[in-house]
Amino acid sequence: MKPKHFLCLLLSCCFLQNGDCKHHRPDCTAVLCLACPDNHKAVTRKDQCCPRCIPQCKCPAFLKEACIQEGYEDGILLLGQSVIIDFGTRKCTCGEDHNIVCASTCPKISPACKYIGRPQDGCGICACPTDDENFVPAGEVIERECKICKCPPNGGQLQCTLTSKCSLG
């Protein structure tokens, strides 16, 4: 260590209580702090006398269970905090105006898509419907009985061809 760095370290420790070089809290005895307004949470850092007032949002009834599951047991989100709902398809975030705004996390589907498959627990995808009320994702190939079927890149109808596995008789 260079002598000037050692001297700085030594001087900074001498002015702290008990020679303790750990970060300490400032003397706040003469400081008057204002109370935070409603819908704000007071958060005080160790190096500050007065708290920062952070906007907060109360979880509405439709989000209450998700808030609790994600650790917000008091049902309060601070500015910028989020919860994920609907099987990961929506993200709800606390905004400056004390409202929770939800937005889709799903990727956009091309306007050229001819059919959108909607799983019960996820985002819709471009697909081809099947006879059994399911769907095949666009671009995938499946084998069905004696056929090989492909869903085109823009979804729509399955395009099937007969395989040599089955006899035509």
Give the predicted TM-score (pTM) of the model: 0.61
Q: Which residues of 130-157 are buried (b: 16+ CB within 10 A; e: fewer)?
A: eeeeebbebeeeeeeeeeebbbeeebbe
Q: What is the pLDDT along the chain (169 residues), one digit of tens a residue?
A: 444 444 344 444 444 444 455 556 678 888 888 888 888 888 888 888 998 888 889 999 999 989 999 998 788 899 999 999 988 899 999 998 889 999 999 999 999 999 999 888 889 999 999 988 889 999 999 988 888 999 999 999 999 998 877 765 4
Residue 24, token pair as written in the block: 């300490």
Q: Torsions phi, psi of 72, nearest 5?
A: -95, 70
